[in-house]
């Protein structure tokens, strides 16, 4: 090895303390040279006798938030490097390196804000290179203070000394601050101690709006039922579970917590984690009828200080009007949250971009991401083998759970959760995110990818972009997203994909949603599906589960049972519309089948107050009757598809016998899982497929996922772990399909 090397480190290596880490290593190994940030990551020029030891330690001992993708070395023959080792200035603008997600408060900073002798005691904005705001304050690259919302806060002498000392953990920590020079916290109405005042109001049962990293939360004391119900009434949110913020000790008292779940809670991303409840210590209004709670640890010093003062778990739900994005600005909060909040905890550090909390869980099959947002974005995903030389692609996702994806330099950047684009404000946020990501990452799209549905806002955006457009069928995109995150090669052979979700436009012009596909990135054939049924009322069928029950019971030859169950509904009118195809399109949707069966069991509301409400109630009931999983309801295979008519006939028999709804719910889950798994296994055993992928929003149902995985035991299985199985992962799949279609011949 040469005694002088140029070392290029690629990955998540800026804003994580990587340069001072390199500087300290260089001192340890007696090297001379320099390290700097530039447009491609971190560049090191080093000389010395123990370069091999230095390189080994570089990867083995990297800082906690660093993610090294690649280390490249090249000799520097005759390179004259000055004595000593320097941290040089950043090497100019550019955007080929990864930006770091926001990270939860590290133990060292937490100890400081709790130490009365420390100058940052009680300071709500303490941070260092191992924690604190990153993506939420970033305005441009390279990641320097002047390019963040911290530019408005000049450093005091003490902070500047820390910032400039390579031996200090705050060396070049761009958000570094203290009470003398950093952001300021206050409460409205005013009080001398904002944290103590907010805690008193929370204990009194009031609602407090709290400005966080990526937006405002609405907080109440989770132990007070009336306070939680009052927040529900104000937000007009009758049933959707609230997220909680609590200490680890509180969480363990409220929930069952495995080692993997504890590790996920303590991850720097600080996601909301779904955990099984331990008894009913909290009011049911926190998560009505649900066996799980969504909990997170405090993510910022402010959250820690507030929890310390209240000493109780807090409801922490997004601060927004129903259907609108989370509020981020102080003036906006005063205007829009005044009807919800009794007071406001504000600060003057700007939020560069809105970021919801990430939502995740641990299943027997591994981790699952339900919402990819704060703490995970803008982490990138490596592209599978075969996708090396593809053009820059922008994919725009679907209408629900909006998210965009950019392909560049062998990486995919799947953006943060943007909400449902039906809302005008969410659609505006989508347009802003498209501009923001392109500018921030120096992305110049050559191809746009989108859904087949012409009415989607994201589709129209792609078609109006002026770029060549690749339209990708909805369920093919789900399949490709699952293949991609499992690094299935571009030419890795055919895969069978079970894709179960609400709705997606099929290639035949009908609404799909219960599909078995066979293929890969470039194309996928529909080889089996649920028997289509009408969606009476069109979009209304997604909101009112009873409509789907009528359609499925009539199809099963049980119209009299529908009449008996729904005597108050306008069934003659509904049937007239279905017979004539008036606002009753056919759909193979698995999501609507869940709705229908939840209604059959008396578990669905007349009108759902949030997406998946009926399906969640059905899963919760099934978990109360585990014995039912061993006796699945039948689903027949015929020319019409996988027909659930026998399932409803068997259910009708159970209903006459007085079988408990939980048992029937369990038998439904088991029957649906067995039907699709049997079809997929047959493709693998016949040699038509090499593996089975599971995707689509229905696989957020951990019970269904476990049952399908069990039925496919021994078959190579591809599952989602980093990318949402729901429409939040759609753009990633669209981008991969588009890339596969245009990949150069040598990549094929």
Instruction: Give yes or no for a contact between 69 and 11, defined as CB atoms under 8 angstroms apart.
Output: yes
* pLDDT 10s digits, 491-529: 999 999 999 999 999 999 999 999 999 999 999 999 999
The tokens for 507 are 């290639």
CA-CA distances (angstroms) from residue 33 to 5, 61, 135, 557, 596? Answer: 10, 20, 30, 80, 68
Alpha carbon distance 222, 245 (integer Å)? 9
* pLDDT 10s digits, 687-704: 999 999 999 999 999 999
* pLDDT 10s digits, 371-404: 999 999 998 999 999 998 899 999 999 999 999 9
For residue 405, the model assigns a pLDDT of 98
Alpha carbon distance 343, 206 (integer Å)? 8
Mean local confidence (pLDDT), 627-646: 93
Q: Are strands 469-472 and 447-451 parallel, antiparallel or unpaired?
A: parallel
Domain(s) labelled CATH 3.30.420.40 in the chain stretch across 528-718
* pLDDT 10s digits, 520-563: 999 999 999 999 999 999 999 999 999 999 999 999 999 999 99
Q: What is the overall mean pLDDT for the chain? A: 94
**CA 146 and chain centroid, separation:** 29
For residue 94, the model assigns a pLDDT of 56
Q: Which of 73, 65, 738, 689 is nearest to 383 (CA)?
A: 738
Share of the chain above pLDDT 90, in %: 87
**CA 217 and chain centroid, separation:** 18
Mean local confidence (pLDDT), 263-278: 97
Q: Which of 307, 194, 185 is nearest to 246 (CA)?
A: 307
For residue 492, the model assigns a pLDDT of 94
Q: Which of 175, 206, 208 is nearest to 194 (CA)?
A: 208
Q: At what angle do helices 661-685 and 702-711 cross, to 10 degrees?
A: 40
Share of the chain above pLDDT 70, in %: 98
Least confident interval from 317-326, 408-417, 644-653: 317-326
Q: Which of 32, 25, 30 is nearest to 58 (CA)?
A: 25
DSSP assignment of 352-375 equals: SS--PBPEEEEETTEEEEEE--BT
pLDDT band at 615 (very low <50, low <70, confident <90, very high): very high
Judge: domain 4-87, CATH 3.65.10.10. Answer: no
Instruction: Give yes or no for a contact between 127 and 175, defined as CB atoms under 8 angstroms apart.
Output: yes
pLDDT band at 258 (very low <50, low <70, confident <90, very high): very high
In CATH, which of 1.10.10.10, 3.40.50.300, 3.30.420.40, 3.40.50.2300 is domain 528-718?
3.30.420.40
Alpha carbon distance 550, 562 (integer Å)? 6
Which residues lie across from 32 on neighbouring strands?
47
List, in order, residues 6 or more apart from 225 with CB less than 8 Å away. 283, 284, 285
Place of tokens 């820059």: 392
Place of tokens 């969640």: 616
Q: Can you count the helices (H) and strands (E) in the chain?
A: 23, 30
Domain(s) labelled CATH 3.90.870.10 in the chain stretch across 185-347
Helix ranges restricted to H, 526-660: 540-543, 545-555, 559-565, 571-580, 590-600, 613-623, 645-657
Instruction: Give yes or no for a contact between 433 and 405, defined as CB atoms under 8 angstroms apart.
Output: no
Reply yes or no on whether the pLDDT at 19 is more than 50.
yes
Instruction: Give yes or no for a contact between 635 and 672, defined as CB atoms under 8 angstroms apart.
Output: yes
pLDDT band at 279 (very low <50, low <70, confident <90, very high): confident
List, in order, residues 6 or more apart from 677 with CB less than 8 Å away. 498, 708, 711, 712
β-sheet with 67-75: strand ranges across:
67-75, 4-12, 41-47, 32-38, 85-87
Reply yes or no on whether the pLDDT at 747 is more than 60.
no
Burial 156-194 (b: 16+ CB within 10 A, else e): eeebeebbeebebbbbbbbbbbbbeebbebebeeeeeeb
For residue 161, the model assigns a pLDDT of 97
Reply yes or no on whether the pLDDT at 748 is more than 50.
no
Mean local confidence (pLDDT), 292-315: 98
Class of domain 185-347: alpha beta
Helix (H, G, I), strand (E, B) or coil at 311: coil
For residue 97, the model assigns a pLDDT of 63
pLDDT band at 1 (very low <50, low <70, confident <90, very high): low
Alpha carbon distance 484, 578 (integer Å)? 39
Domain(s) labelled CATH 3.30.420.360 in the chain stretch across 378-472+721-748
Place of tokens 């669209």: 734
Alpha carbon distance 398, 727 (integer Å)? 7
Mean local confidence (pLDDT), 700-722: 98
Question: Long-range contact list for 330-335, CB < 8 A, 24+ apart?
Answer: 330/211, 333/209, 333/211, 333/216, 334/188
In CATH, which of 3.40.1260.10, 3.30.420.360, 1.10.8.60, 3.30.70.860 is domain 378-472+721-748?
3.30.420.360
Q: Are strands 216-221 and 366-371 parallel, antiparallel or unpaired?
A: unpaired
258, exposed or middle or buried, with CB in 10 Å at 0-12, 13-18, 19+? exposed
For residue 11, the model assigns a pLDDT of 87
For residue 12, the model assigns a pLDDT of 86
Q: Are strands 511-519 and 641-643 parallel, antiparallel or unpaired?
A: unpaired
pTM: 0.94
Alpha carbon distance 169, 112 (integer Å)? 13
The tokens for 396 are 């725009």
31, exposed or middle or buried, with CB in 10 Å at 0-12, 13-18, 19+? buried
For residue 99, the model assigns a pLDDT of 76
Least confident interval from 12-16, 268-272, 420-424: 12-16
Reply yes or no on whether the pLDDT at 93 is more than 70.
no
* pLDDT 10s digits, 46-86: 998 899 999 999 999 999 999 898 899 999 876 678 889 99
């Amino acid at each position: 090895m040469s005694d002088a090397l140029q070392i290029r480190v690629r990955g998540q290596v800026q804003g994580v303390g990587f340069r001072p880490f390199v500087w300290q290593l260089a001192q340890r190994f007696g090297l001379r040279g320099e390290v700097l940030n530039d447009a491609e990551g971190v560049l090191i020029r080093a000389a010395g006798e123990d370069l091999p030891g230095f390189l080994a330690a570089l990867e083995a001992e990297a800082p906690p938030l660093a993610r090294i993708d690649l280390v490249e070395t090249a000799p520097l023959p005759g390179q004259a490097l000055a004595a000593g080792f320097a941290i040089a200035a950043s090497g100019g603008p550019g955007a080929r390196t990864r930006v770091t997600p926001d990270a939860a408060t590290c133990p060292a900073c937490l100890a400081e804000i709790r130490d009365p002798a420390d100058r940052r005691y009680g300071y709500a904005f303490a941070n260092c290179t191992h924690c604190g705001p990153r993506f939420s304050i970033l305005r441009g690259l390279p990641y320097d203070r002047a390019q963040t919302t911290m530019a408005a806060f000049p450093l005091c002498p003490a902070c500047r000394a820390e910032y400039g000392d390579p031996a200090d953990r705050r060396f070049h920590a761009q958000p570094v601050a203290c009470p003398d020079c950093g952001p300021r916290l206050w409460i409205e109405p005013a009080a001398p101690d904002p944290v103590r005042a907010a805690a008193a109001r929370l204990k009194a049962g009031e609602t407090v709006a709290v400005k966080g990293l990526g937006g405002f939360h609405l907080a109440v004391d989770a132990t007070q039922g009336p306070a939680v119900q009052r927040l529900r009434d104000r937000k007009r949110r009758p049933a959707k579970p609230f997220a909680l913020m609590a200490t680890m000790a509180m969480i363990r008292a409220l929930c069952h917590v495995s080692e993997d779940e504890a590790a996920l809670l303590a991850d720097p991303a600080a996601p909301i984690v779904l955990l099984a409840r331990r008894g009913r210590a909290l009011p049911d209004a926190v998560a009505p009828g649900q066996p799980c709670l969504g909990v997170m640890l405090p993510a910022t010093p402010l959250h820690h200080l507030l929890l310390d003062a209240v000493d109780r778990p807090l409801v922490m739900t997004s601060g927004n009007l129903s259907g609108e994005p989370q509020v981020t600005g102080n003036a906006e909060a005063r205007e829009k949250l005044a009807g919800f909040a009794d007071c406001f905890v504000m600060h003057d550090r700007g939020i560069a971009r809105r970021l919801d909390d990430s939502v995740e869980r641990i299943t027997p099959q591994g981790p699952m991401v339900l919402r990819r947002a704060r703490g995970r974005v803008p982490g990138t995903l490596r592209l599978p083998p075969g996708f090396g030389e593809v053009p820059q692609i922008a994919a725009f996702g679907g209408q629900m759970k909006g998210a965009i994806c950019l392909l560049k330099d062998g990486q995919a950047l799947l953006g943060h959760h943007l909400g449902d684009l039906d809302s005008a404000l969410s659609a505006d946020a989508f347009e802003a995110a498209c501009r923001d990501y392109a500018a921030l990452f120096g992305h110049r799209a050559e191809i746009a990818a989108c859904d087949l549905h012409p009415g989607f806002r994201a589709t129209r955006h792609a078609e109006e972009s002026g770029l060549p457009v690749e339209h990708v069928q909805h369920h093919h995109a789900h399949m490709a997203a699952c293949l991609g995150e499992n690094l299935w090669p571009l030419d890795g052979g055919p895969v069978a994909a079970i894709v179960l979700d609400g709705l997606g436009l099929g290639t035949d012009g009908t609404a799909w949603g219960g599909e078995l596909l066979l293929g890969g990135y470039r194309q996928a054939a529909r080889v089996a599906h649920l028997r289509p049924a009408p969606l009476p009322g069109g979009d209304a069928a997604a909101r009112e589960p009873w409509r789907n029950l009528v359609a499925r019971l009539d199809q099963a030859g049980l119209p009299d049972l529908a009449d008996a169950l729904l005597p108050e509904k306008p069934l003659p009118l509904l049937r007239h519309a279905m017979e004539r195809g008036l606002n009753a399109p056919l759909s193979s949707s698995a999501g609507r089948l869940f709705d229908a069966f939840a209604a059959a069991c008396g578990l669905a509301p007349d009108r759902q107050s949030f997406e998946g409400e009926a399906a969640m109630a059905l899963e919760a009931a099934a978990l109360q009757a585990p014995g039912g999983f061993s006796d699945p309801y039948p689903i027949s295979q015929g020319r019409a598809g996988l027909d659930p008519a026998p399932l409803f006939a068997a259910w009708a028999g159970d209903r006459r016998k007085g079988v408990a709804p939980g048992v029937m719910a369990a038998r439904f889950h088991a029957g649906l899982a067995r039907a699709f798994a049997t079809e997929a296994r047959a493709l693998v055993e016949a040699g038509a497929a090499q593996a089975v992928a599971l995707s689509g929003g229905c696989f957020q149902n951990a019970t269904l996922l476990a049952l399908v995985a069990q039925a496919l035991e021994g078959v190579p299985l591809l599952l989602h772990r980093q990318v949402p199985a729901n429409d939040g992962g759609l753009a990633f799949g669209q981008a991969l399909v588009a890339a596969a279609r245009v990949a150069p011949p040598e990549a094929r």
